[in-house]
Amino acid sequence: MFFSRSLVALGALLVAAPVAAQVPKLLPLPAELHGESGSFALGARTALLVPAGDPGARVAAERFAALIAETRGLKLAIGSRERAGSIRFVRAATGKAESYRLEVMPGGAVITAGDDAGLLYGAVTLWQAMTQAPGKGAVSVPAFGVADAPRFGWRGLMLDSARHFQSPAYVRKLIDWMAVNKLNTLHWHLVDDQGWRIEIKKYPKLTAISGWRHPATAAGAPQLPQVGGFYSQDEIRSIVAYAAQRNVTIVPEIEMPGHALAAIRAYPELGTGVPIPPGTESDWGVFPWLYNLDDKTFGFLEDVLDEVITLFPSRYVHVGGDEATKEQWKGSATIQARMKALGIKDEAALQAAFMRRIGEHLTRRGRKLIGWDEILEGGEVPPDATITSWRGVEGAITAAKAGHDAVLSPSPTLYFDHRQGAGDNEPPGRLDVMDLRAIYNFEPVPAEVPAAQQHHILGLQANLWAEHIRTEERSAWMTFPRASAIAEIGWSAKAPRDYGAFVDRLIPQLDRMRPLGLRPATSAFAVTPSYAHTPGSDGATVTLANQSGLEIRYTTDGSPVTLKSPAYRGPITVKFPAKLNAAAFHGGRVLPGALAETVTAQRMRWRSDEMLETCTKRVVLALEDDYPATGKRAVFVTDLFNPCWQWEKAPVGDAKQIAITVGQIPFNFQVGKDIDGIKFASPATPDGEFEVRAGTCEGPRVAVLPLAPAVGNPGLTRLVGKIAPRPGNETLCIRYTAKGVEPVWAVDAVELIP
């Protein structure tokens, strides 16, 4: 057995160079791996052998066969008769959960595990070894051995289907992608203010009314088509079974007592009687509508949970508990009387009592309550409650010290609605940028958790909130490859992490996932330029970079970039016009995210909104235009609470005019009293105007561009006006005047015209 030989602990970075050359690039990084002499060949005649009467082993073999068919085009047979060169699945008597051993030798391969998950993950590792490079047909790999087990039992993603609905087919694809990264928990956010996505047979109006909405549009823009959908109970059962075969547990979330607008829209008696203005369901943000405390409302929630439990065998049921602003409870005489009768001192304690009642119901049904970290506030929580720590890591620290289990999911680091880069091909989402390296460097066990309580840290998950993720293609882009970093953090042993080595293993992992339907983000490999230009000169200095520090090669004459192209060693000088092409390389081939740009003098006088700085950093979002209904839409980077942009060192010296391309979008945000802090200068014309000031936002006004030409256009409008003479380079502050927050005007691009 290979375990009697000297094993190499990759987690401790002890692989000697000659051995490392013989081992496959695997993700997540295994606990132990070593190379062997000889090689193993996989071909169409390779048999998969499973023990008779072992359905779990057969499922693992079937998954391996399916993955090989999708990636290498080979159809492998499953049987139980011994044959040379076969792949055997062996059931061990004992073993740590999800652990496995894999021996790949010239005479065949053996996967040994004590549970179904371990057999599956051994098969996944073997598949990765057989797909080290793209290609079809038979393949031969150097012999090797693995002994592997996960660091954490909870390695997850959260999918928000409430804000934007994803098809059952997409959910299945996501589960496939999770499984080949050894991610094992899908937290499914099925209910929120904007939509109810799960069929509840006792309450059909939940999906009939709140399964659909019209997206918000700016005043005067054409109405967008209705969007939405929901999952029938039969569809959910099918998805849950599909996930179980891939060792993915689905944890359903039913939000309460806040994020309840969808339920209250369908059944108003569940709320506190505060009317819901039409179209509110198309807003984003923190809504004030909460469930009331009537026994009938608790009966409704218990009925819903009972139907949910029949669909999801998960030990856990997530009940939300976050962002439950208490204004409506404070303003309700009925709620206040109930609090007094129960002897509850304040609304935070009332929410704690609410959660205890729900927790008791789940306990009676044999399930455990899990909720966002707010459920720790207000008093005693259910004794077996688990915490999802999202407001940083403090919730996990508090929970663990109090004897509660916790899952790390801190914002902003593990919030996948944050963009991955500053490129103009990035989907809408939140800023600051959370790139692949930032995710990979996250440590799930806070230093403040004492060693005796560290067992309460169950693991981690990344959350994909979908307010701004309208399509499934964007959902995939925002999820991978960052989810592969989550997989490695959750699986591999704690050790000094080597980001470069991770990227080296990630690239073949993404290659083998593309035949599974994944189109991952290219942000980590994209080449981004920055320019330095002296006004009046006939060229510019170009600096190239990519997030992963990979080799960059380039050309400046428009020719394709190849391995023979110059390697980028530092800033390069080009003369106008230059056709700049550049790409990152790995293993001798071009990676996605190549740069192709024509560098001209006028390009030096132009900036997109991604290149500008927002004047403040309060709530900076990349928001999608609401027009057109189909086709490509503009995406605007703006600070929601202070729409203001700065162009630092703008080349204003020879500028005679300034052009600002603008668009308008709705202010569809529930921000409570914060809306009172959004201030604008009074407009000088009925429709307002963009103002440009020099130096600072209080500096001299150098240009005024009336908004009148843009008011009737739901798309982009290019405003052009004179700019006052200024010497050299100077910072420009760009903002607009308005009577109120609606609509939000946003900058798409700015250009100085000589």
The residues carrying an active-site annotation are 323
Nearest CA among 544, 542, 532 for reference residue 585: 544
Please give the backbone phi and psi of residue 183, each rounded to the nearest 5 degrees, phi first: -85, 135
Ranges assigned E (strand) in 591-688: 595-599, 606-608, 613-614, 620-624, 635-639, 644-651, 657-665, 669-670
SS (H, E, C) 505-555: HHHHHHHHHHHHCCCCCCCCCCCEEEEECCCCCCEEEEEEECCCCCEEEEE
φ/ψ region of 73 (left if φ > 0, alpha if ψ in -120 to 50, else beta) reads left
* CA–CA separation, 152 and 461 (whole Å): 11
* Residue with tokens 């959750």, as numbered in its chain: 490
Rounded-to-integer distance, Cα 438 and Cα 548, Å: 11
Cα separations (Å) of 584 from 135, 480, 640?
22, 18, 35
Q: How far apart are alpha carbons 593 and 546 in whole angstroms?
A: 9
Q: Residue 505 to residues 4, 19, 41, 189, 439: CA-CA distances in angstroms?
A: 27, 16, 22, 31, 16
Sorted by sequence, the CB contacts under 8 Å of residue 652 that are 6+ apart come out as 694, 702, 723, 726, 728, 729, 730, 732, 752
| Tokens encoding 554 | 């380039």
Q: Residues 6 or more apart from 452 whose CB is under 8 A from it? A: none
DSSP summary character for residue 741: S
Instruction: Evaluate whether 672 touches 325 at the Cβ level (below 8 Å).
Output: yes
Rounded to 5°, angle at Cα 36 from 30 and 42: 85
Task: Kindly give, in sequence order, each residue whose CB lies less than 8 Å from that of residue 731, ignoring residues fewer than 6 positions away.
Answer: 646, 647, 648, 649, 650, 694, 695, 696
Spatial CB neighbours of 116, under 8 Å, sequence gap ≥ 6? 56, 57, 59, 60, 247
Residue 503 · residue 550 · CB < 8 Å: yes
The size of the chain, in residues, is 754
CA distances from 608 to 273, 422, 645, 647, 703 (A): 46, 11, 11, 10, 19
Q: What angle do CA 367, 486, 471 make, to 5 degrees?
A: 85
Give buried/exposed letters for 501-527 (b at 16+ CB in 10 A, else e).
Answer: ebbbbbbbbbbbbebeebebbbbbbbb
Nearest to 595 by CA among 423, 477, 750: 423
Give the containing element (helix H, strand E) for 482. helix 482-491
What's phi and psi for 530, nearest 5 deg?
Answer: -135, 150
| CA dihedral sign of residues 715, 721, 724, 725 | positive
Tell me how many degrees the CA angle 127-503-87 measures, rounded to the nearest 5: 10
Number of helices followed by number of strands (H, E) in the chain: 17, 40
Going by their DSSP bridges, the two strands 139-148 and 100-105 should be labelled as antiparallel
Nearest to 264 by CA among 292, 304, 283: 292
Nearest 5°: CA angle at 183, between 194 and 199?
35
383 contact partners, CB below 8 Å, separation of at least 6? none
Please give the Cα distance from 662 to 688 (Å, whole number): 13
